[in-house]
Every structure is written in C-alpha cells, then in structure tokens.
C-alpha cells in the first residue's frame, strides 16, 4: 500500500485512519519520501488553536521551486511543464519544458534581485494568464520574496488597497491583456493605482498586446531587455518551512480584504499530495485547470501542486465563450487533456448553449472531471457527467477555500463513489466537525450544521498579513479549539458531506467570494445614496447574483432611477471590479431593522429570492411597515 498514491476505497479508509490517528508521523512519511529538503525538520507539528499558532515541519529548510523544477531536470527535463494556450485560437500554443522553465524562472529571479528585491519583500503580480504569470510567481519563490497575486479583473482601487496592505515594493504587470474579443489596459489601471502606493519602487512590464503605454521614467521597466541581460542560473534561497511563500487576498464579510499568508513547507506537501490523489495524475497526463492564477485554485492547482508532481499543466489565457462556446472542448481535444478542473458557473453557462458545441470535439482523452468554488447543482452535475465525461469520468466536487490552501473534502476518483451535489468524504488528514449554534459538536449522520475543522493540516493559512487578531477573530473564535470555515454543511447517512453555502455575509457569485460590506461602502459613496444593503439571490448561471436595496437621500432633486443604477454599478466597478456589479437595484424608503439597528438581511434575502411566504415574525422590528413596501416594489 502506498501512502502517496491512493487507488481504492479501502486504501482511502486505511490511509485516512492512519492520518487521523497519528497525523504527525503520517505527514512526516509523506514529506520525507516525496520531497527535497535541504535540512530535515526538528519537529513535525506544533499547534495551539487558541492563539492560534500552527507550525509544520519546523526547522526544515527547502525551496519550493527546487521541488517544482530542479529535481525534475534529470528525469523530466524535456517534458512539457506548462502548455500555454493563448486567447486567440489562431495564435500558436507554447510548450515550455521543465528545462526551459528552469531557465526562465532563474533569469526572472535574477532580474528581481537586480531590481533590489530581497527575501521577505512583497511583490505584487497583476498579470493576465500568460506564462510570465506562473514564471514570476516561481521567480519570487526562488529568491524568497513573498508574492501577492492580484486577479487582473480587479479595479485600480482594489489593486492599490492590496498593494498598500502588504507594502509591496514592486508590481509586475503587462502592457495590456486579451480577453475574448476585448483588450484591457492593465498598465493604465496600475498607473492609476500607483498614484496612491508609496511603497512601490519599480514596475516590470511584460509586452503582451503591443499597446502604446506610458512608461514612468525611473519606475517602469520593460521586462524583456532585463531578461536578455540576466544570468541563466539562480541559486534558490533556502527557506524555513514556516517562512511565508505568498499572500493572497480574499473578501471578508466586513472590512478590507484579508491577506491570507501561506507557508512554504506545509503548503508544498499538502498541495502536491492532494493534486496527485484528487486528480489521479499519472506521468504524461495533461492536466488543465481553467481557473485564473489570481485565485487560490490557480496557485495550488495550476502552479505548485502540478509542478511539484512533475506534471504537464495547461494555462489558458482566454474565456470559455470566445471565439465561441466550444472553446474549452476544442482545447481539451487539441491538447488531449486528461484531467479537467473548472467551476460550476462555467458548466452552467456552457450547458445553456447546448450540446452541439461539446459534440463537435473528441473528448475521449478525459479521465477525471473536477469542480470547485461553489455548490454544484444537480442539473449541472448531470450535464457535466453525461456530455463531457460521457458517464465514464468521475466528477470530483472539491470543497476548499483560500484559507485552507488545498482541497479539504473531495471524492478520490475511481475509489470514492460519487453522489451529485456532494463533495463526499474528507481528504486524508482532514477532520471535519459539524457544530450547532450553541457551539456543540453534532455527532452522527443525517445532520447539518456549521462546518469546522478540528485538527491542523499542513497547508492551512498561518495568519492574516498584519492582523493576527483578525485571523483569530474570524476563524478561531466562533467555536472553541476549531477552525470555522464560514460554510454550512450536511452529512448524509453514509457520512458524505454536502456544502450548503455560506452562513456569513459573504456571497459567492460565479465562484467569486464577495463580501457585502465593501460593496455597500462603494454604493454609499454615491452622493445620492443614504444607505444600502446587499443580499444574494439564486441565479441560473452565476449560482448567486447580487440584489441591492438602496435608500436615496432626499435632495429634492429628481434623478432617473435607471441612470442612478448605472452610476451605482459604475462606482462598484471602479472600487472593486465588474464581478461585484449588482443584477438588481431596488430603491426603497427604508430597510428592515432590529431595535438595535441591525439590518435584517434574512428578510431582504427572502424578498430578493421571491420567497415571501414565511418571513417570520416581523412585528419586533423597529420599522415593520417597510417590509410590505419592499415586497410591493420588489424587482
Ligand atoms: O463557500 C465555499 C465555496 O467557496 C468558498 C471559498 O471560496 P474561495 O476562498 O474563493 O476559494 C474558492 C476555491 C477553493 C467556500 O467557503 N466553495 C468552494 N468549493 C466549493 C464551495 N462550495 C460548495 N462546493 C464546493 N465544491
């Protein structure tokens, strides 16, 4: 039996039991046998959820890029590490071998050093899905700089907030990006953001769309000439297992985004191990995850997890609808993709366009299909199973979070029988618990509650950058001695988990986490707005869409509501990004509030979902009369 590669259900149960009975020795075995350490750890795990403090492989020394690149050079030097598929199908795909990746990462790392970047410095990466994105991530890791990738769909305000929160020294960006038939002026967005970012000393610019951009003397540098001059080898910086590898921001229900900090050693071990098992990756398979590296899915399962296994990983620059809705399937056919990992929202959008697009292509290479980011509804699950997997490729519905670093609940394909809408069983080493509202664990099956994790796992985030107290308050205070996920879940009669959705004020729209408070703050900046409240409502494709209730100031001036709606969405686009735009905006005289002044979102959620049959007792509200007014004018 191999601890590293699980192939049967029985093996899963055996290894799971082992991983839970003695987590330290289990993970030590995995770490020891499958990775390259410059020095062994002194202590496998120390932890205290009350502080909270978690350390894995303390005292060990490593560099993750040595594990992802160098150690493959002898055996897989000419194997393709990254297949880059451009936005435009007429542009040639690029195959980057492990040797070439080594060369490009080393040269990039040397450029970073020449620009004064040192171990521990923060580097913001704001790039489209082009090879330089993966390469710059790895180049940072090579020299021990902490990368902070910001999804290139975020606005300049969102970008500057993230740069300033972690005092980044440098931004890596491009002259623009392709997105379907559009181009986006990324450098212009960076320039705007940097008006307000005193910590930035330099900007490296990748040429992608050949646009005519402004370069600021002394600050901005084209990347290519620097790479041309750079030395081809770069000794990896030797990192402590607990040294931060990266920061990645995720929305909170309140306040500014949280910079989740991930470690080097534990993160590497867990992402590599989950990748191998959840996707059953075999040598020479071609694996494709459609996420953007701007999200955790891309960090863990486009870059680090696959490369640590010496895999071939596809990076796609474009969108599923360009030049038509067959683009994903065309790419699967073209590169003979074996494992395909995407989001339910993409599946729903493609299902709507009909099966002709799917049937045009040869999908027989597919072995495993994955989903992530939000609950997958039964209809989408079956469409995926029937039309893409032809009922022969198991679907792995993987539940996890930015904070968890790696997949936490998921079937193991060909081992765990799947069940539509269920993420099924906890992954090796993961000890979930369902909790009731009084903080008691709910044991047994056929129950539901708040999903917590009882025991540390190697890739959990260690803190929130600059705000450890917030880390404690958000994740370790709701339930004693537990990590609280913010999700609700149910456990069925055989112990399978189904994630039911967020139990806080985070709304997942098209697989993106959005906090209500930052959106409300953006709306409230409009001079005509007095107050606002955002809730989610079910949407066929996005899973959830946003519904805003807005109270206007009584300025005596009449404004057309349609214009106001446009202006509000424009403000949201500027402050956060187009992903946070509202689908519906209802103007109202008041918002239902408790006597202590708290907005009753539960009522607003029901009205937005057109489910007003049981609103509960509204008589105790401060202003019960507004409820009827809101129902009467609901959109
Ligand atoms: O609510 C859960 C949902 O996405 C949240 C985490 O979002 P984020 O940090 O952006 O990471 C997404 C990619 C890992 C979770 O708290 N979620 C994620 N995967 C699933 C899911 N909900 C249901 N089923 C899933 N498979």
C-beta of residue 365 within 8 angstroms of C-beta of residue 337: yes
Which pLDDT score is estimated for 307? 98
Report the interhelical angle of 156-165 vs 186-194 (nearest 10°). Answer: 50
Degrees, nearest 5: CA angle 400-446-15: 50
Distance 568 CA to ligand 1 centre (A): 28
Residue ranges of the alpha helices (H) in 371-505?
A: 378-383, 468-475
Q: Please tell me the residue having the least CA distance from ligand 1 atom 13.
A: 373
Whether ligand 1 lies within 6 angstroms of the CB of 401 is answered as yes
Q: Please tell me the residue having the least CA distance from ligand 1 atom 23.
A: 375
Whether ligand 1 lies within 6 angstroms of the CB of 375 is answered as yes
Whether ligand 1 lies within 6 angstroms of the CB of 537 is answered as no
Gap between the Cα atoms of 293 and 173, Å rounded: 14
| pLDDT over threshold 90, residue 518 | no
Q: Please tell me the residue having the least CA distance from ligand 1 atom 14.
A: 401
Whether ligand 1 lies within 6 angstroms of the CB of 296 is answered as yes
Q: Which DSSP category does 410 fall into?
A: -
Tell me which of 398, 422, 499 to substitute to probe ligand 1's pocket, judged by most ligand atoms within 8 Å of the beta carbon: 499
Q: Could you identify the atom of ligand 1 that is nearest to the CA of residue 291? A: 13
- Tens of pLDDT, residues 480-497: 999 999 999 999 999 999
Gap between the Cα atoms of 179 and 323, Å rounded: 11
Which pLDDT score is estimated for 4? 87
Which pLDDT score is estimated for 586? 96
Which pLDDT score is estimated for 1? 53
- Tens of pLDDT, residues 207-264: 999 999 999 999 999 999 999 999 999 999 999 999 999 999 998 777 789 999 999 9
Give the chain's domains with CATH numbers: 510-632 (3.30.300.30)
Gap between the Cα atoms of 4 and 488, Å rounded: 30
Token readout for 359 is 């049937």
Q: Could you identify the atom of ligand 1 that is nearest to the CA of residue 400? A: 14
Tell me which of 249, 374, 404, 411 to substitute to probe ligand 1's pocket, judged by most ligand atoms within 8 Å of the beta carbon: 374
Tell me which of 247, 294, 372 to substitute to probe ligand 1's pocket, judged by most ligand atoms within 8 Å of the beta carbon: 372
Distance 102 CA to ligand 1 centre (A): 32
Share of the chain above pLDDT 70, in %: 99
Gap between the Cα atoms of 392 and 319, Å rounded: 26
Distance 72 CA to ligand 1 centre (A): 32
Whether ligand 1 lies within 6 angstroms of the CB of 396 is answered as no
**Residue 570 C-beta-side C-alpha neighbours within 13 Å:** 7
Distance 407 CA to ligand 1 centre (A): 10
* Average pLDDT, integer, range 367-382: 95
Whether ligand 1 lies within 6 angstroms of the CB of 341 is answered as no
- Tens of pLDDT, residues 10-29: 999 999 999 999 999 999 99
Q: Could you identify the atom of ligand 1 that is nearest to the CA of residue 485? A: 16
Tell me which of 373, 409, 411 to substitute to probe ligand 1's pocket, judged by most ligand atoms within 8 Å of the beta carbon: 373
Q: What is the DSSP string of 229-294?
A: HS-S--PPPPEETTSEEEEEEE--SSSSPEEEEEESHHHHHHHHHHHHHHTT--TT-EEEE-S-TT
Mean pLDDT, the chain, as a whole number? 95
Gap between the Cα atoms of 248 and 616, Å rounded: 39
Whether ligand 1 lies within 6 angstroms of the CB of 237 is answered as no
Q: Could you identify the atom of ligand 1 that is nearest to the CA of residue 402? A: 9
Gap between the Cα atoms of 552 and 531, Å rounded: 7
Which pLDDT score is estimated for 254? 72
Whether ligand 1 lies within 6 angstroms of the CB of 502 is answered as yes
Whether ligand 1 lies within 6 angstroms of the CB of 400 is answered as yes
Instruction: Specify the range with the lowest mean pLDDT, choosing from 142-151, 400-409, 508-517.
Output: 508-517
Gap between the Cα atoms of 582 and 534, Å rounded: 9
pLDDT category, 505, cuts 50, 70, 90?
confident
Whether ligand 1 lies within 6 angstroms of the CB of 487 is answered as yes
| pLDDT over threshold 60, residue 504 | yes
For residue 286, the cross-strand partners are 312
Whether ligand 1 lies within 6 angstroms of the CB of 300 is answered as no
* Average pLDDT, integer, range 284-297: 97
Gap between the Cα atoms of 233 and 110, Å rounded: 8
Whether ligand 1 lies within 6 angstroms of the CB of 513 is answered as yes
Whether ligand 1 lies within 6 angstroms of the CB of 250 is answered as yes
| pLDDT over threshold 80, residue 422 | yes
Whether ligand 1 lies within 6 angstroms of the CB of 110 is answered as no
* Average pLDDT, integer, range 502-528: 90
Which pLDDT score is estimated for 604? 94
* Average pLDDT, integer, range 308-336: 98
pTM for this model (two decimals)? 0.94
Whether ligand 1 lies within 6 angstroms of the CB of 381 is answered as no
* Average pLDDT, integer, range 360-372: 98
Distance 101 CA to ligand 1 centre (A): 31
- Tens of pLDDT, residues 132-185: 999 999 999 999 999 999 999 999 999 999 999 999 999 999 999 999 999 999
Which pLDDT score is estimated for 382? 97
Whether ligand 1 lies within 6 angstroms of the CB of 342 is answered as no
pLDDT category, 620, cuts 50, 70, 90?
confident
Q: Please tell me the residue having the least CA distance from ligand 1 atom 26.
A: 399
- Tens of pLDDT, residues 595-618: 777 888 889 999 999 998 888 878
Which pLDDT score is estimated for 179? 96
Tell me which of 253, 271, 291, 399 to substitute to probe ligand 1's pocket, judged by most ligand atoms within 8 Å of the beta carbon: 399
């Amino acid at each position: 039996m191999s601890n590293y590669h699980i192939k049967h259900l029985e093996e899963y149960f055996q290894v799971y039991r082992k991983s839970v009975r003695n987590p330290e020795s289990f993970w030590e075995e995995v770490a020891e046998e499958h990775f390259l350490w410059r020095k062994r750890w002194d202590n496998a795990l120390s932890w205290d959820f009350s502080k909270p403090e978690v350390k894995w492989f303390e005292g060990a020394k490593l560099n993750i890029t040595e594990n992802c690149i160098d150690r493959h050079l002898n055996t897989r030097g000419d194997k393709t590490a990254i297949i880059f598929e451009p936005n435009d199908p007429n542009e040639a795909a690029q195959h980057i071998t492990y040797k070439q990746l080594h060369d490009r990462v080393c040269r990039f790392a040397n450029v970073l050093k020449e620009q004064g970047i040192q171990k521990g410095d923060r580097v913001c990466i704001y790039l489209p899905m082009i090879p330089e994105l993966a390469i710059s991530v790895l180049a940072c890791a090579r020299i021990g700089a902490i990368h902070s990738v910001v999804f290139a769909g975020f606005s300049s305000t969102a970008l500057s907030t993230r740069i300033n929160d972690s005092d980044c020294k440098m931004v890596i960006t491009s002259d623009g990006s392709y997105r379907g038939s559009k181009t986006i002026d990324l450098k212009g967005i960076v320039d705007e953001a940097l008006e307000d970012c005193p910590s930035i000393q330099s900007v490296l610019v990748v040429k992608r769309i050949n646009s005519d951009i402004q370069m600021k003397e002394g600050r901005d540098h084209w990347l290519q000439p620097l790479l041309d001059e750079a030395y081809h080898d770069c000794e990896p910086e030797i990192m402590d297992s607990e040294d931060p590898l990266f920061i990645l921001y995720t929305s909170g229900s309140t306040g500014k985004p949280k910079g989740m900090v991930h470690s080097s050693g534990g993160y590497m071990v867990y992402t590599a191990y989950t990748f191998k098992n959840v996707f059953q990756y075999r040598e020479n398979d071609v694996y494709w995850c459609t996420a953007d590296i701007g999200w955790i899915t891309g960090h863990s399962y486009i870059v680090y997890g696959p490369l640590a296994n010496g895999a071939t990983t596809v990076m796609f620059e474009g969108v599923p609808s360009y030049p038509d809705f067959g683009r994903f399937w065309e790419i699967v056919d073209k590169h003979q993709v074996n494992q395909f990992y995407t989001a339910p929202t993409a599946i729903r959008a493609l299902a709507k366009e009909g099966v002709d697009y799917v049937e045009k292509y040869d999908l027989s290479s597919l072995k495993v299909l994955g989903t992530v980011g939000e609950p997958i509804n039964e209809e989408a699950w079956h469409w995926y199973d029937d039309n893409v997997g032809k009922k022969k490729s198991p679907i792995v519905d993987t539940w996890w979070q930015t904070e968890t670093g790696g997949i936490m609940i998921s079937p193991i394909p060909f081992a765990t029988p799947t069940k539509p809408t269920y993420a099924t069983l906890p992954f090796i080493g993961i000890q979930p618990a369902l909790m009731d509202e009084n903080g008691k664990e709910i044991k047994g099956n056929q129950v539901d509650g708040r999903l917590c994790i009882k025991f540390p796992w190697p890739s959990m985030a260690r803190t929130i950058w600059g705000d450890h107290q917030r880390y404690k308050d958000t994740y370790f205070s709701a339930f004693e001695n537990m990590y609280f996920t913010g999700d609700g879940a149910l456990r069925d009669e055989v112990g399978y988990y189904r994630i039911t959705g967020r139990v806080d004020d985070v709304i997942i729209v098209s697989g993106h986490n959005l906090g209500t408070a930052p959106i409300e703050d953006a709306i409230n900046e409009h001079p005509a707005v007095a107050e606002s409240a955002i809730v989610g409502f079910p949407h066929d494709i996005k899973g959830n869409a946003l519904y805003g209730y807005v109270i206007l100031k009584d300025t005596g001036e009449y404004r057309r509501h349609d214009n106001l709606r446009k202006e509000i969405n424009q403000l949201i686009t500027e402050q956060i990004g187009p992903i946070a735009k509202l689908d519906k905006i209802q103007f109202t005289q008041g918002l239902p509030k408790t006597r202590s002044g708290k907005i009753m979102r539960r009522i607003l959620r029901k009205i937005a979902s057109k489910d007003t049959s049981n609103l509960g007792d509204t008589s105790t509200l401060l202003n019960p009369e507004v409820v009827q007014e809101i129902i009467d004018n609901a959109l």
